[in-house]
Amino acid sequence: MLAFLLMIVLGVAAQVVQKVDPGRQAFEARCARCHGADGNGADIGPAIALRLAAYQDRQLASLIRNGLPERGMPPSGIAGPEMTRLLKFLRTMRGRTAAGSIVGRKLQLQTTEGKTLEGQVLGEGFDDIQLRTDDQRVHLLRRAGSRFREVTSETDWPTYNGDSGGNRYTGLTQINKGNVARLAMTWMFTVPDMRNLEVTPVVVGGMMYVTGPNECFALDAGSGRQIWRYKRPRTRAMSVSGGANRGVAVASDRVFMETDNAHVIALNRFTGELLWDTELADSRKNYAASSAPLAAGNLVISGVSGGEHGANGFVAAHDQKTGKEVWRFSTVPRPGEPGSETWQGKDIEHGGAPTWFTGSYDPELDTVYWPTGNPSKEYNGDHRKGDNLYSDCILALERKTGQLKWYYQFTPHDLWDWDATETPVLVDAPWQGQTRKLMLQANRNGFFYVFDRRDGTLLLAKPFVKYRTWASAIGPDGRPIKLPNQEPTLEGTKVCPSQDGATNWFSPSFNPATNLYYVQTFEKCSFYTKRDPGEWEAGKSYLGGSQRTAPDPEPRRILKAIDIFTGEIAWTLPQPGPANSWGGTLTTASGLVIFGEEGGSLMAADAAKGNPLWSVETNHTWKASPMTYMFDGRQFIAVAAGPNIITFAIRDSEGSNSDHGCGARRPPVMMPKFNGIARPTGNDVKATRAPWSHLSMATLDQLCSNPRMAQNS
């Protein structure tokens, strides 16, 4: 009897073995290490489960057989019956969203407009669903009884700075001084394996695009639910930091982003499929890339980093459809070219002047304005005597050809690492009785500049920080009037501003109603030390010295509002803390300026007066700037804080927690300064208090957790 039972058990086991899918066996043996056993990605390979539908069997077999060596996917020896079994298994795969719900299933539904939609479910919640139809379009839907209502964004944020002119100003007024106290968090999305995001979200057609290094996420801008994710392995053993990515450009059906190893790529914005991949420069020669490209006409324009490592900069334009390079402008001339006379010495070969930050574009003038960085071996100019063009410049380039129209150099022969990579803000405004096309920039060197952007005429240059030791003024010829004894030395030289600059790449904004330019500033200094770094080598930095922050004066972070017509400071808002945050500003037609405050709060202040009106604590050091958009009739504010994308909107006045500040805290009483003098009037103090400011935090907690109590209070 025992022998008989043993035979039965062995027979069942043999049948189980025989039922193991040979296609799965092939996948697990050859593919799972990179792409995960379920096809949803692993440490060294992207998720593929949601991408398979875009390939026919013949295309998929060719991809598996030939690989993508340039992207780290090796060719395989799979052929014949094994390939057939593998393809059959791949067709059974179903992807998963970040939340773990199964997607890939087909669904047919009815909309409130009477349409029938059928497609692949990309994400789903109690109230929302994301569906991709056979035409590859994504539909964002909200439940309405047994039907679904299609939603989208009425006002997009289509570029890094909201518009191609670089000004973070919005005409949206739903969030205003009267209701900003009811601003509360609506949703949050966490980017996996990130510490501090530097991205500004871009919103087009209801879809939000956010990036980390070598990855891009498409989200439902109304709920934050993931629609797709593109990921490729980070480049190993890079000498230049590839730990940040600041965002994307969008044009038509394409999303463009840079990779850590200095490539620019195009993705299908509905599916995340890679459409083309073009190398900007060889990362083995110290090149990298980190910022959002700029879409201009039929081109996508981008730059490179690597200036601290002796990589010579350039601006490059590529055809949006094909990825083919159309033109390239080099920011360090070759010996014998115009501008090379400003480099006296051997360091022209590794001069730097990187182009790592996003420029601005005027479609009417068809001109691109691109900022450039500091020269390499920044603290030692012994082998680069002269002005060192085109470092620390703004370049006005003809969009179609890349031809230089005009340039301006802010800090000739820079020895202090003062990139000009602060956003060039393009505005049209009255200037001395006539409307002029202006370009505004608060520069890292401590001066605020106004140009006529048609020809580069300098209209105004005024200092905007108190501590400035390197130059007394900008002369009539447009050059800084330098002060003596400010060069780095072997012993160390104290210079103001600090190496971080009077400001940096975090975003400024201009409000045409107030004629004020809002910029987060640093008041601090550095000790600069000079040394000989030796000969340039691939894989090593090329600094020529070092710097450290001076303890005196005590570093301060100060939001400043600058009158663009006079250069005078209209008001200031000092912020307590160590002055090491990098959050920028957003201003609105409703009279607000929204910014990342030094202590980690997202704060809203009165754009005319500077008094705080609202804040919410994120407990993260800012590395990004806020943006705004309108989705399904509701204005959102979004910002990257730590590894999170967080959005805010006005809490519904009919909701149970309305007017009680649930999800926000009252702002600190911080007095703005007008022309350097604090004015803590009674009205100003009251303006900083939310409607619930008389309540204790314990009472607020009870209100937020007890709707009935909130309604009766």
Q: How confident is the model at residue 510 (pLDDT cuts 50, 70, 90)?
A: very high
pTM (2 d.p.): 0.83
> Given a cut of 80, is residue 698 above it in pLDDT?
no
Measured at the CA of 263, the angle between CA 257 and CA 269, to 5 degrees, comes to 30
**Tokens at 657, concatenated:** 């927690």
As a whole number of angstroms, the distance between CA 659 and CA 710 comes to 9
| Selection from 633, 612, 589 nearest residue 685 by Cα | 612
Q: What is the pLDDT of residue 666?
A: 42
CA distances to 110, 142, 494 from 131, rounded to whole Å, are 12, 11, 59
Residues 233-249 pLDDT 10s: 888 877 676 689 999 99
Identity of residue 287: Y
Top-confidence residue, 523 or 674: 523
**Residue closest to 122 by CA, chosen among 142, 111, 138, 144:** 138
Can you give the pLDDT at residue 704?
Answer: 40
Q: Which residues of 113-146 are buried (b: 16+ CB within 10 A; e: fewer)?
A: eeeebebbbbbbbeebbbbbeeebebbbbbeeee
Cβ count near 38 (within 10 Å) = 16
417/400 Cα distance (integer angstroms):
31
Distance CA 37, CA 674 (A): 62
Phi, psi torsion values for 9, nearest 5 degrees: -60, -45
Q: Do the Cβ atoms of 172 and 635 come closer than 8 Å?
A: yes
List the structure tokens of 625: 């700037």
Q: Does residue 254 have a pLDDT over 50? A: yes
pLDDT digits (tens, 9 = 90+) for 184-240: 999 999 999 898 999 999 999 999 999 999 999 999 999 999 999 999 988 887 767
pLDDT > 70? residue 690: no
Average pLDDT of the residues in 122-148:
96
Q: Whose CA is closest to 420, among 409, 429, 433?
A: 409
pLDDT number for residue 102: 43
What's the pLDDT tens digit per position in 401-450? 999 999 999 999 999 999 999 999 999 999 999 999 999 999 999 999 99
Report yes or no: 594 and 602 within 8 Å, Cβ to Cβ. yes
Instruction: Say what the pLDDT of residue 583 is.
Output: 97
Q: Is 156 a known active-site residue?
A: no
Query: What is the Cα–Cα distance from 576 to 474, expressed in whole angstroms?
Result: 31
Per-residue pLDDT tens over the stretch 150-191: 999 999 999 999 999 999 999 999 999 999 999 999 999 999
Mean pLDDT of 530-541: 91
Q: Coil, strand or helix: which one is 40?
A: coil
Question: Could you say which of 2.102.10.10, 3.60.110.10, 1.10.340.30, 2.140.10.10 is the CATH number of the domain covering 169-687?
Answer: 2.140.10.10
Percent of the chain with pLDDT over 70: 86
Contact criterion met (CB below 8 Å) for 437 and 365: yes
- Per DSSP, 531 falls in state -
Residue 476 has pLDDT above 70, yes or no: yes
Q: Would the pLDDT of 669 be above 90?
A: no
Domain 23-90 CATH superfamily: Cytochrome c-like domain (1.10.760.10)
Helix (H) or strand (E) holding 588: strand 585-588
The ranges assigned to domains in the chain are 23-90, 106-151, 169-687
Q: 670 to each of 151, 508, 558, 666, 693, how far by Cα in Å?
A: 40, 21, 12, 12, 15
pLDDT of 491 over the 90 cut: yes
- pLDDT tens digits along 562-614: 999 999 999 999 999 999 999 999 999 999 999 999 999 999 999 999 999 99
Catalytic residue among 128, 260, 392, 417: 417
The yes-or-no verdict on residue 83 having pLDDT over 80 is yes
Sign of CA dihedral 606, 612, 614, 615: positive
pLDDT (average), residues 63-72: 79
Taken as a whole, the chain contains a residue count of 713
Average pLDDT of 462-466?
Answer: 98
Question: Six-digit token pair at 403?
Answer: 């031809």
Do 354 and 373 meet the contact criterion of CB atoms below 8 Å apart? yes
Number of C-alpha atoms within 13 angstroms, CB side, residue 495?
A: 32
The SS3 assignment for 358 reads coil
Least confident of 38-42, 108-112, 160-164, 687-691: 687-691
Q: In the sheet where 569-575 sits, what is the strand order?
A: 509-511, 516-523, 556-563, 569-575, 673-674, 677-678
Q: What is the longest distance spanned by two Cα atoms in the chain?
A: 109
Say how far apart CA 73 and CA 5 lie, in whole Å. 49
d(CA 129, CA 530): 59
Cα distances from 531 to residues 116, 217, 527, in angstroms, run 71, 43, 13
The whole-angstrom separation of Cα 585 and Cα 167 is 10
Mean pLDDT within 133-159? 97
* CA quadruple 458, 464, 466, 469: dihedral sign: negative
| pLDDT at residue 557, rounded to an integer | 98
Average pLDDT, the chain: 88
Report the half-sphere exposure of 46 (CA within 13 A, side-chain side): 22
- SS3 state at 350: helix
Q: What are 288-326's pLDDT values in tens digits?
A: 999 999 999 999 999 999 999 999 999 999 999 999 999
C-alpha–C-alpha distance, residues 542 and 41, integer Å: 37
The candidate with the shortest Cα–Cα distance to 445, out of 509, 380, 522, 541, is 522
What pLDDT shows up at residue 12?
45
Task: For 16-59, write each residue's pLDDT tens digit.
Answer: 444 678 888 888 788 887 888 778 776 677 778 767 766 778 88
Please report the DSSP string for 79-146 in residue order: -HHHHHHHHHHHTT---B-TT--B---EEEEEBTTS-EEEEEEEEE-SSEEEEEETTS-EEEEEEETT
Q: 544, 310 in Cβ contact below 8 A?
A: no
Q: Could you report the per-residue pLDDT of 356-404, keeping only the tens digit for each?
A: 999 999 999 999 999 999 999 999 999 999 999 999 999 999 999 999 9
C-beta separation of 147 from 108 below 8 A: no
